Structure 1
Amino acid sequence: MDGIKRALPKLAENTRGLGGSDGVFTRYTDYGSSQSTWLRGAIVRTTSLTDAARTIEDPDMQLAVLRMTGPRLQAAMSGAMLLATWIDFLRLAEVVRQECPFYGVERLFVDLDRVQKRIDPAMTALASMNPAEVEDTATAMPELMGQLTREFQSIQEGARVAMERGGRVVAAAQFLEMVTLVSALKATLPRPPPAAPMTLGVGLVMGTGGVMMGSRVVVTAEWVERMRGLVQAGVISAPVVSAAVRIHAGQVLMSQAKQDLPKGVRDALGDSPEVRAMRETGRAGAGMSSAPRHHVLPQEHREWFEQRGFKGEMDIDQFCVRLEQSHHEAIHGGGDWRLGRTWPREWNQWIMRLLKTSEREAGRTLTRNEILNTVAENMQFYGIPMRFTAGRNR
């Protein structure tokens, strides 16, 4: 993200490149800037939740709050990859503008418009931070990256042909070399057609330098270990990690997006049940499509919680859990919530009585973490799973 932040102004200001042509291409650099804004916000929000989790004493509640970073972290991972790819296209357009006058401005404008329309639906879904949309989009990233790779190659080849037709054969060769240097997409671009059938990425193993390797370096051992830990902790999903590995590994794995990962990759990630489950799944498959959301911090006492630090990323709407309908009704005293409120052990009545009693005994306002410790203990007693999902905001 820091590299993107530095690159965008330079692209916009280069009058020989995208900054020229009477501002025709400004809309495309502005698009990059707008995507950068929400991505940085997602990173800040993720960091905020991580810092909050670090201060919580109850280990189960600490992990539950850390899991709340999942959608934001997955959105940031996939969004940053897409934005870096968009920067690649802008850099390619800049080189074409500077070195290939035979490739028309109108043609290049249409090319970028087409690419933006491919990227934008995914960016919009990721920016929504909706867990289901983020999961689906991140899992489908290999296919999208494959399409973008082909778009990149098409523009590059069109520019090369235009230069050769203009009699600039030597310049065309230099142009291709220049594009290779400016593009981060070269990590996913396939090499020239090999003599034998391409099997890139299928035999990935851990190399001597501590990196996962096939015919080239893919990801570092540190990255693999971190992803494995996050998957096993339930912070991010295995299909999203699978998608990221496929993208790093190149075209062959991207084309196999709906299959299991190759054995070499599974071995490197740790052949656990979590990793073996790296395939696309939907909400219905998880049996959660119609389960109601339960606010563990009662909504009717929102102001009380806000006065004790439950704001922003720690708003009470972030502390919802999905429960089976019968379980949800049971902790609220049955199907009629009005009658349920008269039961002393009804969840809302019980948790608020405990918290307010604790405050009276302490002679002070409870801290946010003290409240969460009490809530965690009682969630275990009521059999409420400590996996939070965002509820409906006010």
Structure 2
Amino acid sequence: MLDVSGSTLQLSGELSRLRKSHGGIAGKAAGLFVPHVEYGQRQLRWIDAELAAATRLATAAAELEEPDMQLALLRLAGPRLEAAMLGSLLLAAWVDILNLLDVAFKHGYRAVETLFVDMDRWQKMVEPPMTALASREPGQVEAAAENMPALMGYLSGEFNRTAERLHTGLRNVEKVMLLAQLVEMVTMVSAMRFSLPPMRPSAPVTLGMGMVMGDGGVMMGTRLVVSAEWVEMMRRLVRSGVLSLPAVSAAVRIQSGQVVMAKAHGELPRGVRAALGDGPEVRGMRMTGRAGAGMAEPPRHHVLPKEFREWFEKRGFTGEMDIDQFCVKLEQAHHQAIHGGGNWKLGRTWPGEWNRMIMKALQDAESRLGRLLTRNEVLEIVAERMNLYKIPMNFTRWGGR
């Protein structure tokens, strides 16, 4: 979270500067490129919002004592962090392109129309994965993660070709050298510096970064994969269900420059499997929808009964902690059993029916304390009852089904 937050802070500063760069990209042809800067600012807003929500969820998890509920809250934070992490990588590449054009315009580059057409084309390529990541729908996020390394590879190639074209278009030797320096420095926050090929000898600019050879021949970008401890943490988060393997795989592949490593659809590169632990549980993690698994979507059960939404809101369940975030997928038989059978009206007459039981437990606790329960106290009580009813603490958002 701190790593992504640092990147977004730098991106925010760069976008603000570009928005006011009247001698460069913001002033060229009466602000023809300003909408592309504003597009980056709009993406940064949702990335910052998801990162802030993930941070609040992780903080809430740290305040709990029940370990299963702690892990459950971290699993709620995970998709938000994944979306913010991948979104910030893609946005960093976008900002690099904007920076490249900005310095070219400042030094007299004139072929505006061609670059405008290119920017429009590139934005249309960036928009679908950005929209998918902002949705936080697991299927869409994982599909975007799978495709991102190839997209970043393509954008890297386009960046390199554009930089060469700008070198050719700027005839003055001093201007060419200034552009070369910019290309070398512009990628301070971008993942593209991990994957760009070196430019021709006529333009001596290297947009690379030193690689470190890890165990099993894994090439790792030193900014992201910094130690064996990092790899071990990623392995634990993946196996605990906090982060998804496709998202971690995409980040590692992008940062290490291996943008075309995958040899088959849905198959992880061997180096990434080695870094994350090449066991059966890792090899078995493939991106698949419920149709690919050959089964219908199981029913989602509100752990915090939705007919008492207002009751829970008064005790802090709002925003990313809204009761719609606390749903679990159960097999049909299990779902019916905790509600007293297939007829929910008859089920509510049974004292052990989930909604009736959990609300009684919460209200009794408040009566004993003589005050409203805190959010954490509610979660501790709910966790105890979930263990009793053998309900897995693996929450998912309510989708209206």
1:60 Cα deviation after fit = 0.6
RMSD, aligned α-carbons: 2.9
1:24-72 residue CA offsets vs partner (Å, 9 max, x unmatched): 2211111111111111111110011111111111111111111101210
**Identity of matched residues, %:** 51
Unaligned runs of at least 5 residues, structure 2: 1-7, 201-207
1:80 corresponds to 2:70: no
Matching of residues 1-394 of structure 1 within 5 Å: 1-21=8-28, 22-99=30-107, 101-102=109-110, 104-163=111-170, 168=172, 172=176, 175-176=179-180, 178-183=182-187, 184=190, 185-191=192-198, 205-206=213-214, 213=219, 219-221=225-227, 222-251=229-258, 253-254=260-261, 256=263, 258=265, 260-277=267-284, 279-285=286-292, 289-392=296-399
Q: Is the 1:68–1:235 Cα contact (8 Å) retained in structure 2? A: yes
Relative to 1, partners in 2 of residues 1:66 and 1:286: Cα closer, same or farther, differing over 3 Å?
farther
Q: Report the Cα distance in structure 1 between the residues aligned to 2:89 and 2:136, rounded to whole angstroms.
A: 16
Distance apart, 1:343 and its partner CA: 1.7
Q: 1:320 to 1:57 in 2, by over 3 A?
A: same
Cα displacement string for residues 110-141 of structure 1 (whole angstroms, at most 9, x for unaligned residues): 11111111111111111122232222212321
Shift in CA distance, 122/215, structure 1 to aligned 2, threshold 3 Å:
closer
The answer for the alignment partner of 2:4 in structure 1 is none
Question: What TM-score, normalized by structure 1, do the two folds share?
Answer: 0.87
Task: Name the CA distance, whole Å, in 1 between partners of 2:306 and 2:223.
Answer: 50
**What is the DSSP-based 3-state SS (H/G/I as helix, E as strand, rest coil) of the residue aligned with 2:225?**
strand
Structure 1 Cα separation of the partners of residues 81 and 165 of structure 2? 37
Shift of 1:19: 2.1
Letter matched to residue 72 of structure 1:
R
Give, in angstroms, the shift of residue 260 of structure 1. Answer: 4.4
Amino acid at match of 2:398: G
Q: Give the match's secondary structure for 1:23.
A: coil
Letter aligned with residue 341 of structure 1: R
Q: Is the contact made by 2:253 and 2:272 (CA closer than 8 Å) also made in structure 1?
A: no
Q: Distance in 1 between matches of 2:296 and 2:47?
A: 28
The separation in 2 between residues aligned to 1:100 and 1:76, in whole angstroms, is 36
Amino acid at match of 1:219: V
The AA in structure 2 aligned to 1:180 is: E
- Secondary structure of the residue aligned to 1:321 is strand
Q: Is the 8 A contact 2:72 2:394 kept in 1?
A: yes
Asked if the contact 1:45/1:313 (under 8 Å) is kept, the reply is yes
Q: Could you say what secondary structure the match of 1:34 adopts?
A: helix
CA contact (8 A) 1:320 1:390 kept: yes
Q: Please say if residues 194 and 221 of structure 2, whose CA atoms lie closer than 8 Å, have aligned partners that are also in contact.
A: no
Alignment-derived partner of residue 197 in structure 1: none
> What corresponds to 2:5 in structure 1?
none
SS in 2 for 1:115: helix
- The residue identity in structure 2 corresponding to 1:238 is L
Matches of 2:173 and 2:295, distance apart in 1: 59
With normalisation by structure 2, the TM-score equals 0.85
Amino acid at match of 2:276: L
| Distance in 2, Cα, partners of 1:61 & 1:127 | 26
Quickly say closer, same or farther: Cα 1:314–1:379, change in 2 above 3 A.
same
Structure 2 distance, partners of 1:312, 1:214, is 37
Q: Could you tell me how far apart the structure 2 residues matched to 1:385 and 1:87 are?
A: 42
Structure 1 residues 11 and 289, CA, compared in 2 at 3 Å: closer, same or farther?
farther
Paired letter, 1:41: A
SS of 1:342's equivalent?
Answer: coil
